[in-house]
Amino acid sequence: MSVTDVLAPWAAINDALGLSAPIRDEAHYAELLAFVDEAFEQFGENDEHPIFGLVSIVADRIREYEARVHPWPELPPSELLRELMAEHGIRQSDLPEVGTQSVVSEVLAGKRGLNLRQVKALSERFKVPMEVFST
């Protein structure tokens, strides 16, 4: 395979998604988010599907845009978790990935930190980068 072999397919993908440059604006951002959602709706059961290679590239562009235009506030992990819980209507007992209700209470009070397993689980649950829990 040569560069020439992939040039036409890449040009079509680039024309459709605009991946050769950073995300231009909110409309472009919304289009890429919709593409990722559609890919997961259609192929989410098959994480080996080749579309997820492209989804990974799109996700990188989305992360870059969000970091530039919609940065996460620098809050202590306890406050961030409290904000996310309020935003999603979640109670302490709804977070088994953190631990028992008493463990969640200690985390929210700032008396206990989050470990890597908890951070990963919360990141996946709330669809946020793991880094937001590390301030």
Domain shared by 15 and 55, yes or no = yes
Residue ending a domain, choose from 69, 86, 113 = 69
pLDDT band at 135; cut points 50, 70, 90:
low
User: Are 91 and 120 within one domain?
Assistant: yes
Where does a domain end: 39, 69, 99? 69
Report the share of the chain in percent with pLDDT over 70: 99
Alpha-carbon torsion angle 51, 56, 62, 65, nearest 10:
-140
Number of domains the chain contains:
2
pTM of the model: 0.57
Domain CATH code at residue 119: 1.10.260.40
Residue 21's domain comprises 3-69
Lookup result for tokens 């979640």: 90
| 105/58 same-domain check | no
Q: How far is CA 28 from the centre of its chain?
A: 17
pLDDT of residue 131: 84
3 state SS for 16-51: HHCCCCCCCCHHHHHHHHHHHHHHHHHHCCCCCCCH
* Pair 95, 48 in one domain: no
The predicted-structure confidence for 40-96, as pLDDT tens digits, reads as follows 999 988 878 999 999 999 999 998 998 888 777 778 889 999 999 999 899 999 999
